[in-house]
Chains A and B, each alone.
Chain A
Amino acid sequence: DAGVIQSPRHEVTEMGQEVTLRCKPISGHDYLFWYRQTMMRGLELLIYFNNNVPIDDSGMPEDRFSAKMPNASFSTLKIQPSEPRDSAVYFCASSFSGGLYSNQPQHFGDGTRLSIL
């Protein structure tokens, strides 16, 4: 079975440039999460969607960050303009709700390693 697919796997760009990260969740999953992982802060939740609707974006660091989910099989995380401190590994994860009181695990992609020079 196909897992969560992220692209690109690596991105190196100069500060000030726009960066777009992409994610295809597991088919049938109705939740999608964007995380950032750094040595300093560990794994941080940035934003999550339910049925393509953003539910909580309180983890998005600044207005330079935006995320969209135009349909159930695709989401993007955009940084514009990018800064060196945005360098991190960005993960996308998806899960199936299984009903309000039936917890289900999140399944992660292999991430995008972003380096802003």
Chain B
Amino acid sequence: GESVGLHLPTLSVQEGDNSIINCAYSNSASDYFIWYKQESGKGPQFIIDIRSNMDKRQGQRVTVLLNKTVKHLSLQIAATQPGDSAVYFCAENVRGYSTLTFGKGTMLLVSP
């Protein structure tokens, strides 16, 4: 029979565009957030993190924004490149706990 799997939301962009990937979290006690990138055949790779005492953090070509009021997290990628094509996961952590709760992921497709 037909297999049913996770239907990942997909964002398709052109090379050079800026990309914004969104994530909603549910636990108001979460105070640490991470974005991971997972390429085909590889494990999730750490991109950037942010603690709840910050609203914004910038890395190389990436910016994470945190809105605690509406429990929303976003990852902005500037000048998106074909090599950025991957599935992106957000993860949240509650202070004092060792485990992460992962979002379902968003697939980013970058066309040349």
Which residues of A are at the interface with B, using a C-beta cutoff of 8 A? 4, 31, 33, 38-43, 45, 48, 50, 55-56, 91, 93, 95, 97, 100-101, 103, 105-111
A50 to B98, CA, bound (A): 9
Closest 4 CB pairs of A and B: A39-B5, A108-B43, A103-B32, A110-B43
- Expressed in whole angstroms, the Cα–Cα distance for A106 and B44 within the complex equals 9
Q: Which of B43, B93, B96 has a CB less than 8 Å from the CB of A111?
A: B43
Other A-B pairs, 17, CB within 8 Å; known A39-B3, A103-B95 = A33-B99, A40-B3, A40-B6, A43-B44, A48-B99, A56-B99, A95-B98, A101-B96, A103-B49, A103-B93, A106-B34, A106-B46, A108-B36, A108-B43, A109-B43, A111-B42, A111-B43
Size band of the interface chain B makes with A: 20 to 34
For residue B100, CB closer than 8 A to chain A, the reply is yes
Q: Does B58 lie at the interface of the complex (its beta carbon under 8 Å from any beta carbon of A)? A: no
The answer to the question of B51 belonging to the interface, with a C-beta cut-off of 8 Å to chain A, is yes
A to B CB contacts below 8 Å, 28 in the list: A4-B43, A31-B98, A39-B6, A40-B3, A40-B4, A41-B6, A42-B102, A43-B44, A43-B89, A45-B99, A45-B100, A48-B98, A55-B98, A56-B99, A93-B43, A95-B98, A101-B96, A103-B51, A103-B93, A105-B46, A105-B49, A106-B46, A106-B100, A107-B46, A108-B44, A110-B41, A110-B42, A110-B43
**B 2-39 binary contact with A (CB < 8 Å = 1; else 0):** 01111000000000000000000000000110101000
**A109→B44 CA distance, assembly (Å):** 8
